[in-house]
Amino acid sequence: MAELRQVSDSELEASLRDAGSRYPYPPTPNLAHAVRARIVLAPAVPATSRRVNVVRPWRLALVAGLVLVFLAGAALLNRGTRDAIAHFFHVRGVVVTKASALPSVSVSSLNLGQPTSLERAQSLVSFISPELFLKVAGPDTHVEETSVNGDPAWWLAGHPHVIIVQTTPEDYREERLRLAANTLVWEDESVTLRIESGLSKSDAMDIATHMP
């Protein structure tokens, strides 16, 4: 028996085209004309018999609101999730996060440096970051999200917390000279303000709300 020769794709295509032209095939009917005729002859459905399920916008908003409330409540039940939420929802320029333990430091002065102008301070900073200050609160530090004159604010009290300052776009410096005491941080338009003291929350809030 002679061995079959392997046919290339182009030769196979040419053979099929040649065979197809020699076999009769019935002509394709005009389907478009037949379908159009069926549509014209079909009885019209009365408009009153049609029932369209329309979802009202207020119902969609209600369902979405209930889902968000449920998800927020479930998230707040978990401590890790609460801490993650506290990390992202913060006053502009300040991030509050929780830590399992804080370093021990000795009492010292604030070491604030020399007074300077805003222009001079801006010239010394070569970058702008939305998270310039990071506050790390220990497990016994009370962290509360609040507001001052309708603007977002943080109240940290009970136990001291660590302040970390961003010094370059990539690096942060931990303030180890001291631990911050009761602190109220809030945002007033484009300015972030801070009161650190031994005052209670009500006294600190009273000062903040009456600041010019």
Burial class (CB in 10 A: 0-12, 13-18, 19+), 185: buried
Grouped pLDDT means (10 residues each) for the chain, 212 residues: 65 71 65 71 58 58 60 50 49 63 58 80 68 65 86 81 62 55 83 85 92 80
Interatomic CA distance for residues 83 and 88, integer angstroms: 9
**Distance from CA of residue 207 to its chain's centroid?**
32
Count of other CB atoms within 10 angstroms of residue 188 = 14
pLDDT for res 71:
55
Distances (CA, A) of 78 to 52, 65, 71, 81, 172: 43, 21, 11, 5, 29
Count of other CB atoms within 10 angstroms of residue 148 = 22
pLDDT for res 96:
67
Interatomic CA distance for residues 54 and 172, integer angstroms: 55
Taking only the tens place, the pLDDT of each residue in 128-168 is: 655 556 666 667 778 888 889 988 888 888 776 666 665 66
pLDDT for res 177:
46
Interatomic CA distance for residues 186 and 193, integer angstroms: 5
Q: 153 and 185 in contact (C-beta within 8 Å)? A: yes
pLDDT for res 207:
92
Interatomic CA distance for residues 46 and 193, integer angstroms: 68
Q: 134 and 167 in contact (C-beta within 8 Å)? A: no
Q: Which two tokens stand for residue 188?
A: 């007033």
pLDDT for res 167:
62
